[in-house]
Amino acid sequence: MAEFFNQFSRRKFIFTAGASASAVLLKGCLGNPPETTGGTQTAPTAEAAANVSAEQAPEVTKVNLGYIPIVEAAPLIIAKEKGFFAKYGMTNVELAKQASWGAARDNVEIGSAGGGIDGGQWQMPMPHLITEGLITKGNKPIPMYVLCQLITHGNGIAIANKHQGSGIGLELAKAKAIFSKLKASPTPFTAAQTFPAVNQDFWIRYWLAAGGIDPDADIKLLTVPSAQTVANMKTGTMDAFSTGDPWPFRIVKDKIGYMAALTAEIWKNHPEEYLAMRADWVDQHPKATKALLKGIMEAQQWCDNFDNRKEMSEIVAQRAYFNVPVDVLLDPFMGKYDMGEGRQIDDRSMAALYWKDEKGSVSYPYKSHDLWFITESVRWGFLPKDYIENNAAKAKALIDKVNREDIWKEAAKEAGIAAADIPASTSRGVEEFFDGAKFDPENPEAYLKSLQIKKVSV
């Protein structure tokens, strides 16, 4: 199995880990550091920690969590800065900015004892791939637990300006001829994501395939750090890329490109990035794990109050975190997207959401969403077909090992979350995409069969 995965992806992963310093480049490209706002930090207090009952007191107060400076990380930053971690006794949470997804993987492999991290923010299904030893050094399995979802929405597909008016939008029916023409030319349509076989790769693949374009045969799809992609888009050698806020804002504002689609349009209320930690850390520190979760849940509720979004923008924009001007964050956080080509979106239900969306809980990690990520990995040949055979028995066994929604529920109860906000089922049920495709978690094979463009034969 490891060999199978290697055959398809290890080279790409190594390339990413070696070549990418996207966070560092991102800083440089996004411009000047913001004005420091002052007064936004709430110092963790001893009083706050003293509110924790002896029964729920964490075994340790210190933990190292990795994050990538994009909107998905906001609940971690807010939990620290607004004192929500400290309130539950986690007075010494260190948030470590990761230079790339490859660096985050390498740092969780060594753990905080080796100078790395105990867990943090992940694209999916990285925790499952790390658990299986499919993307680690020497294919060493490092068991991990998925503990909560951090966010939905906040990502999209950017297209180079030269394609304005060409019909490349959410739907691609009118743009087929352009793709065919470029495919036959020496310079095929070139697109990028920032790490292979995870969310942003899946979003651009889904969107292309739904429009009748095979991402493996009709275009060139590469792994490139964000800032490099933007530079290439400026010089005309990159046609599209899959990216998160605040890039969509910058790309349109700087007249580099326009937005074909938000992920909120491709799959409204879709699963995005998650908190996952090393299983050994969680097993040794069950109370501290729940304290972290309680802090994050409170932060997610705070983040979803739109009255707080200006302050949230000011906090995450700071030099220590995203290091970007506040104004590139605020509009998208309010659900206002200038998509370019004269298209405006002003809809809070399509903004980055952290606690609740129209489908219910954002924070709760549905096992049915893990299953979609595994199924999509099978679709594109990143994982072998046996994961979804026999009613996905192998995928479900892996998900049962990795997804610890039971810990989320215990933490939610301890935090006094209303019963109505604690999902009763580990499945969110049938999901529907913009092109009408449906994913029934009870029958992932039927979903794969229904799709025209795929690598797997089912």
Residues of span 132-171 touching Ca ion by CB under 5 A: 155
Q: Which stretch binds Ca ion (CB under 5 A): 104-112, 194-202, 330-338, 437-445?
A: 194-202
Distance CA(99)–CA(105), nearest Å, equals 11
* Of residues 263 and 323, the one with the C-beta less far from Ca ion: 263
- With CA atoms as reference, report the closest residue to 233 among 186, 191, 179: 191
Strand extents, DSSP E, 134-194: 144-149, 155-160, 190-193
* Of residues 112 and 199, the one with the C-beta less far from Ca ion: 199
The mark string for 417-446 relative to Ca ion (x by CB under 5 A, - otherwise) is ------------------------------
Tokens coding 320 = 């220590």
Looking at the DSSP bridge assignments, the partners of residue 160 are: 257
Q: Which stretch binds Ca ion (CB under 5 A): 14-22, 196-204, 235-243, 353-361?
A: 196-204
| Cβ-contact 205, 213 below 8 angstroms | no
Q: Which stretch binds Ca ion (CB under 5 A): 38-46, 220-228, 236-244, 277-285?
A: 236-244
Taking the complex as a whole, the smallest distance from the CB of residue 273 to Ca ion amounts, in Å, to 5
Taking the complex as a whole, the smallest distance from the CB of residue 104 to Ca ion amounts, in Å, to 13
Taking the complex as a whole, the smallest distance from the CB of residue 155 to Ca ion amounts, in Å, to 5
Tokens coding 79 = 């939990």
In three-state secondary structure terms, 448 is helix
Taking the complex as a whole, the smallest distance from the CB of residue 65 to Ca ion amounts, in Å, to 17
Taking the complex as a whole, the smallest distance from the CB of residue 263 to Ca ion amounts, in Å, to 8
Residues of span 242-301 touching Ca ion by CB under 5 A: 244
Q: Which residue is nearest to Ca ion (CB)?
A: 244
* Of residues 199 and 318, the one with the C-beta less far from Ca ion: 199
Q: Which stretch binds Ca ion (CB under 5 A): 175-183, 193-201, 308-316, 370-378?
A: 193-201
* Alpha helices, H only, 305-363: 309-317, 327-333
Q: What is the dihedral of CA 402, 321, 90, 416, to 10 degrees?
A: -70
Taking the complex as a whole, the smallest distance from the CB of residue 328 to Ca ion amounts, in Å, to 16
Sheet holding 257-262, edge to edge: 220-223, 190-193, 240-244, 155-160, 257-262
Tokens coding 192 = 């990028």
Size, binding site for Ca ion by CB under 5 A: 3
| Cβ-contact 236, 162 below 8 angstroms | yes
Which residues have C-beta within 8 Å of that of residue 220, sequence separation ≥ 6? 188, 189, 190, 191
Taking the complex as a whole, the smallest distance from the CB of residue 243 to Ca ion amounts, in Å, to 8
What residues make contact with Ca ion under the rule CB under 5 A? 155, 199, 244
